[in-house]
Structure 1
Amino acid sequence: MRDEIDGKQCCIVCGTTLSLRHAHILPPEDVAGHFIWLKLKETQEIPQWVQGVEEEPRNGLSLCATHHVAFDNYQFYIRYVPSPLDRFILINISTHPDLSQFHGKAIFLNPAHRIVPFPQLLYIHEYSARAQYASLDSPAISNTVVYPNWLRFSGGAFARVVR
């Protein structure tokens, strides 16, 4: 299963296993979310055979309650940075102090996983977050992958750091 460490599902941002929620990238309760989903399928931005916006696992993220609310309120977005980094990076667009420790760092999403989120959905979320904070400059990020303290990457796999 995706978003698991040591067989336990965890928040892809902070690594906690408490108060986890399935966060939709494209909200299914929004009529626009369904419309965008159908348009993405129609234009073959996502495969025709995928499930609906509500059921498709690639339209979801495992987040703790705190990060779910912050994601839904567009306080941060997740950007896929292709080769050579090949990682998903958290961008704290809101400059919220509670998110600053994760800004510009890799999150626990493996780009090679068979049900990794569709990058197109993350781009749509990014555009919405940028619109929400249009008066702020885009925060700078490093050209190298930086991992949060609870996570390390070695030998092609993520592993929890012993605290």
Structure 2
Amino acid sequence: MAPLTLFTLPLPPDAPPKGYGWENRTASELSCTTAFVTGLDDRDKFLGKCRCVVCGEDDDAALEHCHIIHQSGPSTWGDLKTRKWIPSQAKDHPTHESRNGLIMCKNHHGMFDAYKFFIRFDIDTQKYILISYSGAASLEQYHGKSIALDIQHHKAPFPSLFIIHEMRVPGFHPFRSTPDMPTSVQWQDWITSSGVLNSSGSTTLFRRDRPDSGNDNDNYNSPPQFQQQPQPQSQSQTTPSGTGHAPLASLNDSIYGILAATRSMPSWKACQMENSSWAGTADENIQKYITLIGEQSNVESVG
């Protein structure tokens, strides 16, 4: 066993010892990484606490900031920009763009990265739905239900990114049949039981700030009350082809609608606005704004 390297004393007064700092990372990279984390912490916060958008876990030690397109996929990211699946003004690297991320617990992060499930944006309900494809028993209670993401949020993930992830999942489970889906999309149980949903008529879906006083504190201080689930069964047993279930729609039939929804969402427009330069004259900036809005609404080409 090689001997441990000793620090040379005294230690540097304004930096960690050599090899323990951020020598290979620029200030710009650190700033972008911080912005990614901050964006997710602000968006995936419910009643004042960050939570896993799948199961509602709120212990900081169990939560992770997850990427949809991974660090190893910058070429895929650039291709998506070229094809206008994401705005050309999105961050240059996928790990810096908060619209390419979500907060999950370590368990669901690992299962997402291992292609045990995927998330598909449903055009009719305007919700992000978890689809269990692996048959994992621990995912059955979440299958076919909407996770805690709001398409109207200015930092909402681009639904088009989940298409890339979904396309990879069946390849890891070549002998699994396409799962059935509930005909009525419900929220994950923790969302309806823990008081994070806003009342109907509100401009936003979720209550993100911590209540200051009143009965709402009870909802905040109490952990999510999960409904009792039946004993896990195989996928074929839990999704019968009878009343209340239907085969999962083909992704090929949904891609056009998902791309159209992506390009019309507030998050797309916000990304264009915040990552564009506004150093021109008033007239030039007005024209740029009109151009961006026009580009946002143009969904005739999806290729």
- Structures share a fold, TM > 0.5? yes
Comparing both structures, which one devotes a greater share of its residues to helix?
2
Is 1:9 equivalent to 2:23 in the alignment? no
TM-score w.r.t. the length of structure 1 is 0.91
CA contact (8 A) 2:100 2:157 kept: yes
Q: Which residue among 156, 173, 180 is the counterpart of 1:116?
A: 156
Q: CA RMSD in A?
A: 1.6
The alpha carbon displacement at 1:48 in A equals 0.9
Any unmatched runs of 5+ in structure 2? Answer: 1-41, 208-218, 226-303
Is 1:73 matched with 2:121? no
The higher-RCO structure (CA 8 Å, 6+ apart) is 1
Point out the structure with max Rg over C-alpha.
Answer: 2
Measured against aligned partners, the alpha-carbon deviations of 1:66-91 in whole angstroms (never above 9, x if no partner) come to 001000000010010012x1111100
1:158 aligns with 2:206: yes
Q: 2-side partners of 1:130 and 1:26: how far apart?
A: 17
Q: Deviations over 1:96-150 (max 9, x none)?
A: 0011110001100111111111111101000111211121111111121112221
1:147 aligned residue: 187
Query: Which residue does the alignment assign to 2:266?
Result: none
In the TM superposition, 1:50-129 aligns within 5 A as: 50-51=90-91, 52-83=93-124, 85-129=125-169
TM-score normalised according to structure 2 size: 0.50
CA separation in 1, counterparts of 2:178 and 2:112?
17
- 8 Å contact kept, 1:151–1:158: no
Alpha-carbon shift at residue 162 of structure 1 (Å): 5.6
Q: Does 1:20 align with 2:63?
A: yes
Q: Distance in 2 between matches of 1:76 and 1:134?
A: 14
Change (3 A) 1:36 1:162: closer
**Structure 1 stretches (4+) deviating beyond 3 angstroms?**
158-162
